[in-house]
């Protein structure tokens, strides 16, 4: 019996001829390549149950996660080149990945990202957040191991990461240490630049509630998520260095509601209309995943 396939993908670039670069041609059998194209915002995703087709045109790999104003092969090449990616090496990598790549791993990430985009389109932002969190759980150990296996100083990098296994109490904290202490250790500007979280809601009461909820998460974990500025009820400013911790707390403080012990969890009185609450943070989180993903993947292009 054939298995149901939840999503399929369509090209967003109009062209009659295939490109000489395989990553600019949509290959339905290469999930790793489809993941890149979807993260870049250059293909459409279709839900095969109801036929809904969504044009995903936000470049989550760009630090400002802007939307493509004029999408073309040239504009994609310009972005990748500006990121320091050698296009021929990238082409060679995807030629091999269809045979030797970790298909199951990237297929799982692709499914979660597709579900995120689909749930976002439906305005089901709390569910969309869970799919983003599932991506982080998928990559929390895998990306550090991929990175260490491809790093120039393999032994030093692996030993440092091995030390983290003994120092942290969870795989998610391990991932945070990897991102801040290894992946972007030479790019402090990326980690420490101001990251604005705009707070919006249909009315002032909800907007105030959402502002207080996010501020409470930051204040309760101020060592990891310091606030560098805020505008009452409309904006909170942190940095990407603290963003991973905020993501964990956004999940733990709402989706857990145990009584007794640590009692800083949110109930449904603290955050009403929860879809509207998570709408404020989801694209920021997806962008952080995209930036991390591209940084890890760039190393793979270099040493394939």
pLDDT in the model for residue 150 = 67
* Cα(176)–Cα(298) distance, integer angstroms: 19
* Cα(213)–Cα(248) distance, integer angstroms: 14
Going by C-alpha positions, the residue among 147, 150, 156, 151 that lies closest to residue 175 is: 147
Going by C-alpha positions, the residue among 271, 293, 256 that lies closest to residue 146 is: 293
Q: How many other C-beta atoms lie within 10 A of the C-beta of residue 45? A: 24
Report the relative pairing of strands 235-239 and 229-231 from DSSP bridges.
Answer: antiparallel
pLDDT in the model for residue 253 = 87
Output the six-digit token pair for 126: 């709390």
Going by C-alpha positions, the residue among 147, 183, 22 that lies closest to residue 88 is: 22
* Cα(253)–Cα(242) distance, integer angstroms: 16
pLDDT along the chain (304 residues), means of 10: 87 88 90 96 97 97 92 96 95 86 90 98 98 95 80 57 62 84 90 95 97 95 93 96 94 74 77 97 97 92 71
pLDDT in the model for residue 153 = 54
CB of 161 closer than 8 Å to CB of 168: no
User: CA-based Rg of the chain, rounded to a whole angstrom?
Assistant: 20
Output the six-digit token pair for 29: 């059998």
Which residues lie below 8 Å from residue 57, measured CB to CB, with a gap of 6+?
12, 41, 42, 67, 68, 71
Q: How many other C-beta atoms lie within 10 A of the C-beta of residue 1? A: 3
Which residues lie below 8 Å from residue 72, measured CB to CB, with a gap of 6+?
13
**Secondary structure of the chain: what % helix, strand, coil (to 5)?**
60, 10, 35
């Amino acid at each position: 019996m054939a298995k149901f396939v939840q999503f399929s993908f369509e090209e967003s670039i109009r062209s009659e001829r295939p490109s000489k670069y395989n990553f600019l041609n949509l290959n339905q059998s290469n999930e790793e390549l489809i993941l890149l194209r979807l993260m870049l915002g250059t293909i459409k995703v279709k839900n095969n149950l109801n036929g809904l087709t969504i044009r995903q045109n936000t470049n989550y790999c760009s630090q400002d996660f802007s939307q493509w104003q004029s999408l073309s092969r040239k504009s994609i090449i310009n972005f990748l080149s500006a990121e320091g990616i050698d296009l021929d090496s990238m082409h060679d990598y995807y030629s091999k990945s269809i045979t030797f790549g970790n298909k199951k791993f990237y297929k799982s990430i692709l499914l979660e990202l597709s579900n995120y985009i689909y749930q976002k389109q439906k305005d089901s932002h709390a569910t969309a957040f869970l799919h983003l969190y599932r991506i982080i759980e998928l990559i929390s150990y895998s990306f550090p191991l991929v990175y260490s296996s491809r790093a120039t100083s393999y032994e030093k990098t692996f030993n440092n990461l091995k030390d983290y296994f003994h120092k942290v109490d969870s795989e998610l904290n391990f991932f945070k240490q990897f991102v801040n202490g290894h992946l972007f250790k030479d790019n402090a500007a990326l980690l420490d630049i101001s990251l604005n979280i705009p707070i919006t809601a249909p009315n002032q009461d909800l907007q105030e509630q959402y502002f207080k909820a996010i501020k409470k998460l930051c204040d309760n974990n101020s060592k990891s998520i310091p606030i560098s500025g805020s505008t009452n009820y409309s904006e909170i400013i942190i940095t990407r260095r603290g963003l991973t911790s905020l993501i964990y707390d956004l999940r733990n403080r709402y989706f857990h509601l145990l009584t007794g012990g640590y009692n800083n969890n949110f109930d449904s009185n603290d955050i009403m209309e929860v879809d509207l609450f998570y709408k404020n943070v989801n694209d920021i989180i997806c962008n952080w995943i995209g930036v991390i993903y591209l940084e890890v993947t760039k190393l793979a292009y270099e040493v394939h």
